[in-house]
Amino acid sequence: MARGNRDAVAAIYKLYHSVLTKWILTRGGLEADAEDVFQEALVVLYEKAKDPEFCLTCKLSTYLFAVSKRLWFKKAERAANYYSLSDEEGGEKEFGTYDDDLQVHEEKEMQFDQLSKAMDQLGEPCSSLLKAFYQDKKNMQEIAELFRYTNAENAKTQKYKCLTRLRKIFFTAAVKAKS
Amino acid sequence: MITENNISEWAEKYVQHQLSETELAQMNRALDADPQLYLQWKQTVDILRTFESAAERQEIKNLIQSVADNKGEWAEDSDAQQPATTVIPFRKYLRTTAAAAGLILFSSVTTMFFMNKKVSKVDEKNYTELVRKVKTIEASQSIIIDSLKKAKGEQGESIEVDENVALYGGTGFAITNDGYIATNYHVVKDANAIYVQTKNGKNLKAYIVVREPKSDLAILKLEDKSYRFTKGALPYNIAKPVSGLGQRVFTIGYPKDEVVYNEGYISCENGFEGDQHSYQLEMTANPGQSGSPVLDKYGSVIALITGKQSNTTGTTYAVHSDALLELIQSLPKSANIHLPESNKLNKLERTEQVRKMRDFVFSIKVN
């Protein structure tokens, strides 16, 4: 699955989707929530699987369940806006072991969030230029044509200028957020 | 020449592994020589790496989404029927649970009603006794606000010359990483100045954010806005207790200038005089421990010590943590309090739990 193999993803879906969805539905979730949680859990699993040291000591199902339940609780807590542990069979406590993974996942999410906010602040044409290069993975030639630069070299210079601006915005914002 | 103007390009080439050995060496020399330049380089590298991981994550999300959309690849027949059947049973259960809840509510209210009648009769018979007890609990609670000077003098220790002479002492513990601390109302209620002693022995000033005499709670904040207790998040959380009577608990606090550990168990789910918002614990607690956190074996804070029964040893009262949670909820959103959510103490040995916990429990001195 680490290699982004489509069959692997399909297999996981086949095995666990119905059980997990049922579980969330019985706890007051909507189908859409169940879908979101399941997919997010898969993302966490995938990113963990990329780590060369990752070697599941427990069954895949246990990991998936634990991560999904944790994600679901976080979602439910935010919705209900009050802090309460579920009255599970005391099962909540076990999930502490995957907290680090989830925390890493969440920190990454936050980083992405901050980055996209900084990108918005950047404005045009920088925002689209950087997106085209780093997200859509276009090459300099294509970008030069798209953005009507004289040649690829010019486009490259522009890109670096935008990157510098982004860096300044991003890191002053980050400093503000922390204090 | 590597300058601020072309640092982006160098950073990108670095991340893409496009630098030759000589170029790499040249870059490292320039970075070592100029810390400002190094910072800009590092920041650019961070951004580039973040772009990379964002792109990767988007890819896998797209893959997952496309598999999700293509049910043919994975849905079993029963799956297709699921959507229809799962929605209705949910609604059915709602009705029965609502009925059950109503019934339970009704029966508990009537029971409480009858119980109250009974209890008040007992109260009347033992009325004076109870009054005495109240008086003694008040006295013992005020004793719990220890007199540091007195204690120090008794033990014949040399008294530190502290320009801000503290008169009373209690305990408090961190509820957020950026300076919010929970303690008892009676510790700080008449304070002119409040000092919190951190792990490196410094006394930091704090002020009261909110006080709640009914539950004997108060929340303080360090005046120093930039102080942080630790690098990450707090390792414990504040929880509603999972189990009640018989739960093993422990506490750490400051009945003297050193941190002291005690352990015990919940001996009664209600506190003094049937107070439904406190526990009665069988655990030693001494003056100075007002405000100490009480944790269960999983490392969640479940209560805060408020007082003890004065004519016995070992009977301690602690207010439930949900009173603290309610108090925190009542603060305005601008206070920006994010309570610790995860609990890293869960699987650790008790000594480890204490070792991690003690950095967040403080001696509070009040004058």
> Per-residue pLDDT averaged across B309-326, rounded?
85
B8 → closest Cβ in A39, A46, A160: A160
Rank A19-23, B39-43, B80-84 by mean pLDDT and report only the highest: B39-43
The rounded distance, in Å, linking the Cα atoms of B219 and B9 is 50
B26 lies in the same domain as B156: no
Give the closest-approach CA distance of A10 to chain B in angstroms. 6
Residue pair B272/B307 in contact (Cβ under 8 Å)? The answer is: yes
By mean pLDDT, which of B157-166, B178-187, B270-279 is the weakest?
B157-166
Chain A partners of B65 at a C-beta cutoff of 8 Å? 39
Residue pair B321/B303 in contact (Cβ under 8 Å)? The answer is: yes
Closest among B289, B288, B286, B241 to B265, alpha carbons compared:
B241
Q: What ipTM is given for this predicted complex?
A: 0.73
Band (pLDDT 50/70/90 cuts) for residue A51 is: low
By mean pLDDT, which of A157-161, B32-36, B113-117 is the weakest?
B113-117
pLDDT at position A176 is: 62
Q: Residue B139 falls within a domain, yes or no?
A: no
Chain A partners of B94 at a C-beta cutoff of 8 Å? none
Last residue of a domain, one of B30, B47, B68: B68
B206 lies in the same domain as B293: yes
Name the one residue in this structure whose structure tokens are 């409480």. Answer: B112
A126 vs A21, residue with greater confidence: A126
DSSP class of residue A108 equals: H
CB atoms within 10 A of CB B293: 30
Q: Residue B222 falls within a domain, yes or no?
A: yes
Report the CATH number at residue B277: 2.40.10.120
**Residue from B342, B347, B348, B356 whose CB has the most chain A CBs within 10 Å, to mutate:** B342
pLDDT at position A6 is: 66
3-state DSSP assignment of residue A52: coil
pLDDT at position B6 is: 84
A35 vs A178, residue with greater confidence: A35
pLDDT at position A1 is: 53
The rounded distance, in Å, linking the Cα atoms of B159 and B358 is 24
pLDDT at position A80 is: 60
For B179, the token pair is: 């300076």
B289 lies in the same domain as B166: yes
3-state DSSP assignment of residue A150: coil
The mean predicted confidence, pLDDT, of chain A is: 74
By mean pLDDT, which of B45-49, B107-111, B238-242 is the weakest?
B238-242
By mean pLDDT, which of B106-120, B217-231, B257-271 is the weakest?
B106-120
3-state DSSP assignment of residue A56: coil
Q: Which residue of B has its CA nearest to A109?
A: B54
Domain span including residue B60 = 7-68
Chain B partners of A103 at a C-beta cutoff of 8 Å? 233, 342
3-state secondary structure labels for all residues of chain B = CCCCCCHHHHHHHHHCCCCCHHHHHHHHHHHHHCHHHHHHHHHHHHHHHHHHHHHHHHHHHHHHHHHHHCHHHCCCHHHHHHHHHHHHHHHHHHHHHHHHHHHHHHHHHHHHHHHHHHHHHHHHHCHHHHHHHHHHHHHHHHHHCEEHHHHHHHCCCCCCCCCCCCCEEEEEEECCCCCEEEEEHHHHCCCCCEEEECCCCCEEEEEEEEEECCCCEEEEEECCCCCCCCCCCCCCEECCCCCCCCCEEEEEECCCCCCEEEEEEEEECCCHHHCCCEEEEECCCCCCCCCCEEEECCCEEEEEEEEECCCCCCEEEEEEHHHHHHHHHCCCHHHCCCCCCCCCCCCCCHHHHHHHHHHHEEEEEEC
Q: Residue B97 falls within a domain, yes or no?
A: no
What part of A 43-82 touches B (C-beta under 8 Å)? 43, 46-47, 74, 82
The mean predicted confidence, pLDDT, of chain B is: 77
CB atoms within 10 A of CB B124: 9
pLDDT at position A53 is: 47
Q: Residue B101 falls within a domain, yes or no?
A: no
The rounded distance, in Å, linking the Cα atoms of A12 and A39 is 11
Is the pLDDT reported for residue B356 higher than 60? Answer: yes
A22 → closest Cβ in B44, B86, B242: B86
B195 vs A30, residue with greater confidence: B195
Is the pLDDT reported for residue A97 higher than 90? Answer: no
Rank A31-35, A75-79, B54-58 by mean pLDDT and report only the highest: B54-58
pLDDT at position B335 is: 66
DSSP class of residue A29 equals: -
**CB of A32 within 8 Å of any CB in chain B?**
no
Residue B346 to residue A96, Cβ atoms within 8 A: yes
DSSP class of residue A149 equals: -
The rounded distance, in Å, linking the Cα atoms of B330 and B344 is 27
By mean pLDDT, which of A79-88, B258-267, B296-305 is the weakest?
A79-88
Band (pLDDT 50/70/90 cuts) for residue B117 is: low
- List all residues 6 or more positions away from A149 whose beta carbon is below 8 Å from its beta carbon: A143, A155, A158
For B187, the token pair is: 């510790």
Last residue of a domain, one of B68, B86, B118: B68
Chain B partners of A107 at a C-beta cutoff of 8 Å? none
* Tens digit of each residue's pLDDT (9 = 90 or more) over B240-291: 766 688 889 999 998 888 889 999 999 988 888 888 888 889 998 888 888 9
Chain A partners of B331 at a C-beta cutoff of 8 Å? none
Q: What percent of chain B has pLDDT over 70?
A: 77
Residue B64 to residue A171, Cβ atoms within 8 A: no
**Residue from A86, A131, A160, A175 whose CB has the most chain B CBs within 10 Å, to mutate:** A160
Residue pair B194/B364 in contact (Cβ under 8 Å)? The answer is: yes
Is the pLDDT reported for residue B74 higher than 50? Answer: yes
> Per-residue pLDDT averaged across A12-20, rounded?
75
Number of domains in chain B: 2
Measured distance between the N- and C-terminal CA atoms of chain A, rounded to whole angstroms: 40
Residue B347 to residue A170, Cβ atoms within 8 A: no
Name the one residue in this structure whose structure tokens are 């109302």. Answer: B185
**CB of A115 within 8 Å of any CB in chain B?**
yes
Is the pLDDT reported for residue A27 higher than 90? Answer: no
pTM tops 0.90, yes or no: no
- By CB atoms closer than 10 A (0-12, 13-18, 19+), residue B314 is middle
Is the pLDDT reported for residue B165 higher than 80? Answer: no
Residue pair B324/B339 in contact (Cβ under 8 Å)? The answer is: no
pLDDT at position A93 is: 42
Q: Residue B103 falls within a domain, yes or no?
A: no
Last residue of a domain, one of B46, B68, B90: B68
> Per-residue pLDDT averaged across B313-334, rounded?
85
Q: Rg for chain A (alpha carbons), in Å? A: 21
- List all residues 6 or more positions away from B58 whose beta carbon is below 8 Å from its beta carbon: A135
- List all residues 6 or more positions away from B141 whose beta carbon is below 8 Å from its beta carbon: B186, B290, B306, B307
Residue A160 to residue B9, Cβ atoms within 8 A: yes
3-state DSSP assignment of residue A133: helix
Cα separation values, B116 from A77, B119, B215, B276, Å: 35, 5, 21, 13
pLDDT at position A36 is: 82
- By CB atoms closer than 10 A (0-12, 13-18, 19+), residue B345 is buried
B153 lies in the same domain as B299: yes
